[in-house]
Structure 1
Amino acid sequence: MSERFSAAYDALLARWPAGTAELTVPTPYGPTRVHAYGPPDGEPLVLLHGGGATGTVWYANAPALGARHRLYAVDILGDAGRSLRAGRPLRDAADLADWLGTVLDGLGLPTAALCGHSYGAWLAVTFARRSPQRVTRLALLDPTQVFGGFRPGYLLRALPTLLRPTAARVRRYLAWETEGSTPDRGWSELYVLGAIDRPGGRPVTGRRADPGGLTVPALVLFAGRSRAHDAQALTVRARRRLPHAEVDMLPGLTHHAIPTAAPAELDRRLLVFLAREHPGG
Structure 2
Amino acid sequence: MALWPVPVERLELAGEFGTTRVNACGPAGAPPLVLLSGGGVTSAAWYAHAAGFGRTHRVYAVDLMGAPGLSVPAGRALRTPDDLTAWLDTVLDGLGLNATALLGHSYGGWIALRYAVHAPERVARLVLLDPTQCFAGYRASYLLRAAPLFLRPGEATTRRFLAWETRGGRPLAPELVRLMGLGARDFRSAKTITGPRPDVARLGSTAPPALVLLAGRSRAHDPRQVAERAERTLAGARIETLAGVGHHAMPESEVAELDRLVTGFLAE
TM-score of the aligned structures, taking structure 2 as reference length: 0.95
Matched with 2:246 is 254
Letter in structure 2 aligned against 1:189:
R
For the residues of structure 2 that align with 1:70 and 1:167, how far apart are their CA atoms? 33
Q: Which moved more, 1:191-200 or 1:153-162?
A: 191-200
- Paired residue for 1:194, among 183, 187, 203? 183
CA contact (8 A) 1:36 1:73 kept: yes
What is the CA–CA distance in structure 2 between the aligned matches of 1:41 and 1:221, rounded to whole Å? 27
- 1:170 corresponds in structure 2 to 158
1:98-150 C-alpha deviation (Å, 9 max, x unpaired): 00010010011111010000000000011111111111000000000100110
| Deviation of the 1:248 alpha carbon | 1.1
Residue pairs, 1:20-39, within 5 angstroms: 20-39=8-27
Contact 2:215–2:243 under 8 Å retained in 1: yes
Partner of 1:239: 231
Name whichever of 162-171 and 227-236 sits farther off: 162-171
Structure 1 position 200, deviation (Å): 7.4
| Deviation for aligned residue 1:213 | 4.1
Pairing 1:106–2:98 present:
no
Q: Which amino acid aligns with 1:238?
A: A
Question: Where in structure 1 are there 5+ consecutive unaligned residues?
Answer: 1-12, 277-281
Deviation at 1:250, TM superposition (A): 1.2
Check 1:199–1:158 CA distance in 2 against 1; reply closer, same or farther (3 A cut): closer
Counterparts of residues 2-151 of structure 1 (less than 5 Å) = 13-151=1-139
State the shift of 1:169 in Å: 1.8
Alignment partner of 1:206 is 2:198: no
Distance in 1 (alpha carbons) for counterparts of 2:191 and 2:109:
18
Q: CA deviation at 1:163?
A: 3.0
Q: Which range moves more in the overlay, 117-126 or 178-187? A: 178-187
- Offset of 1:170 from its aligned partner? 1.6
Tell me by how many angstroms 1:60 deviates: 1.0
Could you tell me whether the CA contact under 8 Å between 1:46 and 1:74 is conserved in 2? yes
- The amino acid across from 1:254 in the alignment is G
- The alignment-based identity, stated in percent, is 51
Mapped partners of 2:202, 2:88: distance in 1: 21
Where does residue 229 of structure 1 map in the other structure?
221
RMSD of the TM alignment (CA)? 1.3
Match of 1:159 among 127, 147, 159: 147
- Report the secondary structure of 2:93's partner residue: helix
Distance in 1, matches of 2:64 and 2:86, equals 12
Amino acid at match of 1:206: G
Q: Is the 8 A contact 2:106 2:129 kept in 1?
A: yes
Please list every run of 5 or more consecutive structure 2 residues that lacks an aligned counterpart in the other structure. none
Moved more, 194-203 or 43-52: 194-203
SS in 2 for 1:41: coil
Tell me which residue corresponds to 2:174: 185
Would the alpha carbon gap of residues 141 and 200 (structure 1) be closer, same or farther in structure 2, given more than 3 Å must change? farther
